[in-house]
Copies of this chain bind each other. A is one copy, B any other.
Amino acid sequence: MIDFKELLKEHGIPPSLQRIKILEYLHDFNTHPTADVIYQALMNEMPTLSKTTVYNTLKAFAEKGVIVELSLFENEVRYEYNTTPHIHFKCIKCNIIYDISESFECLKNKEIEGHKVLEHHIYLKGICKNCRDSEE
Residues of A within 8 A of B (CB): 71-77, 89, 91-92, 98, 100, 102, 107, 112-129, 132
Q: A73-B71, A73-B121, A122-B120 known; A113 and B100 CB under 8 Å?
A: yes
Measured CB to CB, the nearest residue on chain B to A72 is: B71
Task: Indicate which residue in B73, B107, B113 contacts A129 across the interface (CB closer than 8 Å).
Answer: B113
* Closest chain B CB from A97 CB (angstroms): 11
Report Cα–Cα, A119/B92, bound state, in Å.
10
Lowest 3 CB-CB distances: which A-B pairs, in order?
A114-B129, A119-B125, A118-B126
Report Cα–Cα, A134/B112, bound state, in Å.
18
Task: Indicate which residue in B75, B112, B129 contacts A89 across the interface (CB closer than 8 Å).
Answer: B112
Measured CB to CB, the nearest residue on chain B to A107 is: B124
